[in-house]
Structure 1
Amino acid sequence: MKKVGIIGYGWLGARIAASLSNTYKIYTTTTTVEKAEELNAKGVHAMVVNFPDYQLSEPYPKWEALENLDVLIITIPISEKSCCVSSLYNRIRNLSSFIGEFKGQMFLMSSTGVYPDTEKEFTEIDVPVEKISGERMVRNKYPQVNILRLGGLMGDNRLLKNYNVSNLNFAVNHIHYKDIAGIILKMIENGTEKCLYNVTAPFHPAKFQVINAQKNIENGEEPEEVKGKKILSSKLVSELEYVFQYPDPRKFHEI
């Protein structure tokens, strides 16, 4: 059985782990002792670790579990929006000390927030890795890394109707967590490396259409114009031949 490490057992990390646990042995990190104890009791190998955005007096010790891991999935924030560039450098430096010279298959969870708020359709070539500090730093250190630019994370308790939403005529760029896990699973099976993919559901309805569907409001009207940017996942569909479980955000609330 292959062993998968997940750095960051938050909302997404927990759901990726649950989706892979039937096929792979899971090792993970969390930020609290209580959560680590809870996970270890459930058979998930967990340890407590944080990755501060300041320079440590001594480098992080290498994660001992890495010696046995086949796959590493990084879900902690690695972006300029989470901290300034100098702080980001320190965070990635601390992360790199923890990972060491890992040579296995690797995944970095990035965000479609790297694309500007321009009303157009974006593909990966519009904003290459070299222009995004966090992605570039990680790829320079780990050239094999797969970078997944995730849309708005949805599914379970995350539904658009639960948020204070503006610009209701603007398109959504959402992704169901089950499709994130499905894409990672397929890439693991394929042994995929060095890829950059946008990960968004293929359909981009207006926000009000998604909210109406989630509130069971009967409104079949199409908007006169769906505004805003649309982040396309056509590259991963073509290269991976991936079929989305949840292609339409208007149906994310359906089980």
Structure 2
Amino acid sequence: MTVSIIGMGWLGIPLAKALKEKGITVKGTTTNPEKEQSLRKQGFECEQLLLNPELEGTVPKSIFDTDILFINIPPSTRSKPSSYPPRQIEIIKGLTQKHGIKRVIYVSATSVYPNNNKVATEADPLNLTNTGNPALLTAENLLRKNNTYDLTVIRFGGLLGDDRIPGKYFSGKKDVPGHPPVNYIHKKDAVRAVLWIIEKGLWNETYNIVCPNHPAKKAVIEKNALDMGFAPPVNYENPEKQEWKEIAADKWCQTKFQFVYDNPLDFTYTTN
């Protein structure tokens, strides 16, 4: 089996290593020529793929000669127009169909759900007027429409662990919303979830992949500060104003996936 990873970054690299350990041939892309050389030295077939959002340079054809295409492109909606991510996906879809790829995994996010002080499930009807992330939802729908491949969409919660420590981002800040339930997933479990989808053949599905436990953000922040030795926020939002959502992981849990970290209060981190 061959898996090609579009986006060999924070998640893509450990996924590539885990796939390789299972005897799967791994190929990947990066936008950085220096990282391309580094990954090649690590034994991965890696090519440069630039979508800004139009394709720049040549198509790395060998990447699209694969059994499974794993699309993991950060949406960049804060710095780019909302049309940017869908156009990137449109180009990748065209290349996918041109090369006859039969299976695709797309990394979306739970930000597609609106903050409406409710529990969100995969069955919730989403459209461009009620979604929390129009660009990502449009990209999802583009991949689903008239496709010629099996498609599974992963809606990851906040990807954390290792050097991504949630409490650190709020250290010393004022009026931090501490009441919303968190929707996090540890990087180790995110990698294992992709392997689980491939191993179990969980195709043509959409999954919310988050921890089934949702402590309040304040509890996570305070524990991080205590464990890692940095300052907590100066104060928390009072009265509580920020709207929230809790992402249900029931459908994913029904696949019998076993979390290493089912509670964000138990996440492990690195300090270097």
TM-score, normalization: structure 1? 0.85
Stretches of structure 2 that go unaligned for 5 or more consecutive residues are 132-136, 228-239
User: How far did residue 60 of structure 1 move?
Assistant: 5.9
Q: 2:252 corresponds to which letter in structure 1?
A: L
Deviation, structure 1 residue 98: 3.7
1:85 to partner: Cα distance: 5.0
CA RMSD of aligned residues (A): 2.7
Provide the residue aligned with 2:20 in structure 1. Answer: 21
Native 8 Å contact 1:30 1:47 kept in 2: yes
Seen in structure 2, the aligned counterparts of structure 1 residues 74 and 242 have a Cα distance that, compared at 3 Å, is same
Aligned sequence identity (%): 31
Q: 1:191 to 1:70 in 2, by over 3 A?
A: same
The answer as to whether partners of 2:53 and 2:87 remain within 8 angstroms in 1 is yes
Secondary structure of 1:134's match? helix
SS in 2 for 1:73: strand
Q: 2:217 aligns with which of 189, 207, 227?
A: 207
The one-letter code sitting in structure 2 at the alignment partner of 1:15 is P
Runs of at least 5 residues in structure 1 that lack an aligned partner in the other structure: 218-224
Among 91, 95, 98, which residue is 2:92 paired with?
95
Distance across 2 between alignment mates of 1:76 and 1:209: 31
Runs of 4+ in 1 over 6 A off after TM superposition: 79-82
Deviation at 1:79, TM superposition (A): 8.2
Structure 1 residues 104 and 79: CA distance shift in structure 2, 3 A = farther
Aligned to 2:208: 198
- Indicate whether 1:133 and 2:138 are aligned: yes
SS of alignment partner, residue 50 of structure 2: coil
Structure 1 residues 81, 216: closer, same or farther in 2, change over 3 A?
closer
SS of 2:21's equivalent in the other structure is: coil
- Write the deviation string for residues 156-186 of structure 1: whole angstroms up to 9, x where unpaired: 0011121027201211100011111111111
Match of 1:247 in 2: 262
Change (3 A) 1:82 1:111: farther
Contact 1:79–1:110 under 8 Å retained in 2: no
Counterpart among 185, 206, 215 of residue 175 in structure 1: 185
Change in CA separation of 1:202 and 1:89 when aligned onto 2, cut-off 3 Å: closer
| Structure 1 contact 201–246 (Cα < 8 Å) conserved | yes
The one-letter code of the counterpart of 1:241 is K
- Residue range with higher mean Cα deviation, 133-142 or 42-51: 133-142
Deviates more, 1:101-110 or 1:79-88: 79-88
Maintained 8 Å contact 2:122/2:207: yes
